[in-house]
C-alpha cells in the first residue's frame, strides 16, 4: 500500500488532535481541590458523562473506555489499512481472551471485565474459548487460546491465561508489522517488545523467579534475543540492561532507571521511562506527511490521555496530593 494513501486520514487526524486535552486542561484538573472540580474541567472537553452519577458510582471507565471505543471505530473506518489500527487495539482482544479463559478455568462470572474494543467482537472470542476453534479469528490467537487451555488441563494453572495471551499478543503484533513492511512501525514494535521484556525480567528477578519462568513469560518477538536476556538473569537486571540495552538509541533514557547505588532498577520508574521512550518515537512519526505513523502516534496519544485522566480522577477521589500525581503522569501529547 502506498504511503500517499494516508494523506487524507492524516489530514483528518489534525482535526482529531485538536480535541485532545491540552496542558492547560491537565493543569486545571491537577489543581482541582476535589473530584467534582476535576470532573467539571473534564466535562468542558470532548468527554461526555453524567457527573452526578460518576460522583456516586466512581465508574470512570464507563465514559473513558466508551470514548476510546468510539475513536478506535472511527480509525478503523478511515485508515487505509486497518492492521495499522490493530497494532494498538489488538491488546484489548487478547485482554478479552484472557478474561474469558479465566472464566472458563474458574467458573467465575468475569464478563464485567471485558472491553469491547478491537477488530474481533467479544462474542467471536468467546466462541473460540468455548469451542477451541474459529473460522473468523487469526490463527495466532487460535493457537494462543488452545495452548493456554492445554496448559491448564495439564497443570491446573489459571495463570496460563496471562502467560500465553501476553506472549502471543506480541507474536501477533510482530506478524502484523512484518506484513506492513514499514521501517518505522517495525522499529516501534522492536522498542515495545524489547522494553516490555526488560520490564518483565526486572520484576521477575525482584520476585526470585526461575529461568524456566522467564522462558515462559518473555517474548521471542523482539530484536533482543530472549535467550540472551535469560542467560544474564543470574547476574541481575542491571547486567541485562548494561549488556543488551545500552547500545540502543534510547540508552541514555534508560540510565535514569538505575538506583543511586547503580545495582538495582526501579520497576515503576522503568515503566514511566518506557512510555517516554515510545512517546519520543511517536513524536517523530506524527509529523510524517504520508504513511501510517501519524495514525500510530494518535493512537498512542489517546491511550496515554485515558491513562492520565484515570490517574488524576482516581487520585482526586483518594485525596492524593498534586505533586505525586504529576510524578506519575505519562507524557502529554496535546499542546
Q: Report domain extents, the chain.
A: 1-81+292-335, 85-181, 183-290
> For the chain, how far is it from start to end, CA to CA, in angstroms?
32
Residue pair 153/169 in contact (Cβ under 8 Å)? The answer is no
| Matching residue, cell 497443570 | 155
The confidence score (pLDDT) of residue 285 equals 84
Task: Report the distance separating Cα 140 and Cα 319, nearest Å.
Answer: 44
The cell for 96 is: 478479552
Task: Report the distance separating Cα 187 and Cα 249, nearest Å.
Answer: 11
Task: Report the distance separating Cα 18 and Cα 59, nearest Å.
Answer: 26
Cβ-count burial 11-20 (b if 16+ within 10 Å, e if not): ebbeebbeeb
Task: Report the distance separating Cα 248 and Cα 255, nearest Å.
Answer: 12
Q: Which tens digits make up the pLDDT trace of 64-75? A: 999 999 999 999
- CA angle centred on 151, ends 232 and 134, rounded to 5°: 115
The confidence score (pLDDT) of residue 7 equals 82
Residue length of the chain: 335
The class that CATH gives domain 1-81+292-335 is mainly alpha
Whether the full predicted model's pTM is greater than 0.75, yes or no, is: yes
The confidence score (pLDDT) of residue 140 equals 98
Cβ-count burial 223-262 (b if 16+ within 10 Å, e if not): ebebeebbebbeebbbebbbebbeebebeeebeebbeeee
Hey, is 265 helix, strand or coil? strand
Instruction: Kindly indicate the confidence band of residue 3, based on its pLDDT and cuts at 50, 70 and 90.
Output: low
Task: Report the distance separating Cα 125 and Cα 132, nearest Å.
Answer: 10
Contacts of 174 (CB under 8 A, 6+ apart): 189, 193, 221
Q: Which tens digits make up the pLDDT trace of 123-156? A: 999 999 999 999 999 999 999 999 999 999 999 9
Amino acid at each position: 500500500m502506498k504511503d500517499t494513501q494516508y494523506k487524507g486520514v492524516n489530514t483528518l487526524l489534525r482535526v482529531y488532535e485538536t480535541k485532545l486535552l491540552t496542558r492547560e486542561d491537565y493543569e486545571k484538573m491537577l489543581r482541582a481541590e476535589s473530584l467534582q472540580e476535576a470532573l467539571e474541567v473534564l466535562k468542558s472537553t470532548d468527554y461526555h458523562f453524567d457527573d452526578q452519577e460518576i460522583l456516586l458510582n466512581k465508574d470512570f471507565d464507563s465514559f473513558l473506555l466508551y470514548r476510546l471505543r468510539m475513536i478506535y471505530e472511527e480509525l478503523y473506518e478511515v485508515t487505509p489499512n486497518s492492521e495499522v489500527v490493530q497494532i494498538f487495539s489488538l491488546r484489548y482482544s487478547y485482554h478479552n481472551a484472557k478474561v474469558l479463559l479465566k472464566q472458563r478455568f474458574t467458573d467465575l462470572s468475569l464478563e464485567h471485565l471485558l472491553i469491547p474494543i478491537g477488530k474481533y467482537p467479544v462474542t467471536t472470542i468467546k466462541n473460540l474459548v468455548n469451542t477451541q476453534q474459529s473460522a473468523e479469528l487469526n490463527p495466532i490467537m487460535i493457537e494462543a487460546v488452545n495452548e493456554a487451555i492445554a496448559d491448564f488441563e495439564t497443570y491446573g494453572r489459571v495463570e496460563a491465561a496471562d502467560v500465553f495471551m501476553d506472549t502471543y499478543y506480541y507474536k501477533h503484533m510482530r506478524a502484523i508489522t512484518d506484513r506492513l513492511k514499514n521501517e518505522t512501525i517495525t522499529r516501534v514494535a522492536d522498542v515495545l517488545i524489547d522494553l516490555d521484556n526488560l520490564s518483565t525480567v526486572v520484576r521477575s528477578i525482584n520476585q526470585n523467579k526461575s529461568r524456566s519462568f522467564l522462558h515462559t513469560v518473555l517474548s521471542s518477538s523482539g530484536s533482543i534475543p530472549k535467550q540472551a536476556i535469560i542467560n544474564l538473569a543470574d547476574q541481575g537486571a542491571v547486567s541485562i540492561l548494561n549488556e543488551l540495552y545500552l547500545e540502543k538509541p534510547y540508552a541514555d533514557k534508560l540510565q535514569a532507571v538505575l538506583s543511586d547505588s547503580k545495582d538495582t532498577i526501579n520497576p515503576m520508574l522503568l515503566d514511566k521511562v518506557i512510555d517516554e521512550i515510545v512517546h519520543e518515537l511517536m513524536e517523530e512519526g506524527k509529523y510524517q506527511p504520508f504513511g501510517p505513523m501519524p495514525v500510530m502516534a494518535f493512537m498512542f496519544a489517546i491511550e496515554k490521555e485515558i491513562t492520565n485522566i484515570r490517574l488524576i480522577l482516581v487520585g482526586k477521589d483518594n485525596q492524593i496530593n498534586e505533586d505525586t500525581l504529576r510524578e506519575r503522569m505519562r507524557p502529554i501529547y496535546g499542546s
